[in-house]
Amino acid sequence: MLNSDLALEAKEMYEENAGEITEINGVKATVIKENDILITKVEILNERGEQALGKPKGTYITIEFDNFDLRELAFCIKNQILSLVRQKSHLAVAGLGNVLITPDAIGPITVDNLIVTRHILEYNKGKFEDLFGWVSAIKTGVMSRTGLESSDIIKGFVKETGCDLLIAVDALKARETKRLAHAVQITDTGICPGSGVGNHRKEISRNTLAVPVIAIGVPMVVDSKTIVYDFLPKENKDSLFEKIKDDITPMIVAPKESDELVRKLGKTVAYGINLAFHNIEFDDLEGYID
């Protein structure tokens, strides 16, 4: 009926449809709270879990917040990234999305706020390793402007940099409007760019790149059917929706403050990555970014 890029929301929708069933075979979920931040880890353990939620097997961490605090969120993102990384790596970051479409610009803006160091360490061996990790980055653009799949660009990027870990950053589609620009998903399963808005592109994952892939996504859009569904009365909600869903004009809807939100959240994701892979204090990060 309705879908979401967030594994947490896929779990919630499954539970809503399942009635009294509270556990999903093949899925494990844990929730912790850190100050004002809610962290939910959904682990899809096997094929039964994959079939139930429609997501690949792996770990999906959703960070939810009501109040924006750059420092607190950046450290939370850092910690959750490191929970999925077994060792510090030669990192490559791919910023996916279209910088000309505001809600889709999370990836490029993240790259703009990264401390990129591969060139420095390569040409100054032994001098800065105590301060910097190996980080390189690319903005992939979109096929309509490059003529290439993002996954094909990234394959060449991974090969050229010799990285042993890729982080792909992209905007996501949510099911719940309350999560727009108020959540971050981090997963070790990779990503299929554009899948949330019906524009499926080639998968970016360990299967296609032969290196581990962490995908970081920020939900920035919902579709018009989601909004209509939420406003229907609870009684006979699903049957009413079935009658009218084909008459709803297909639209992708974003918050009116998208430009400001995307700038803040792209910077926050970048700071989390910077803290995870460099030995730099939070208050000093700004000075290292061009």
More confident residue, 154 or 88: 154
Whether residue 143 is predicted with pLDDT greater than 80 in this model: the reply is yes
Query: Cα separation of 280 and 115, whole Å?
Result: 10
Range in 47-51, 232-236, 274-278 the model is least confident about = 232-236
Dump pLDDT digits (tens) for 5-33.
999 999 988 887 765 556 788 999 999 99
Dump pLDDT digits (tens) for 219-244.
999 999 888 988 888 888 888 988 99
pLDDT of residue 196: 46
More confident residue, 92 or 89: 92
Dump pLDDT digits (tens) for 239-262.
898 899 889 988 989 999 999 999
* Most confident stretch, 129-143, 235-249, 266-280: 266-280
Contacts of 170 (CB under 8 A, 6+ apart): 96, 97, 106, 107, 191, 193, 215, 216, 217
pLDDT of residue 168: 97
Q: What is the rounded average pLDDT for all residues in the chain?
A: 91
Query: Cα separation of 85 and 94, whole Å?
Result: 17
Domains of the chain: 87-288 (3.40.50.1450)
Three-state secondary-structure class, residue 270:
helix
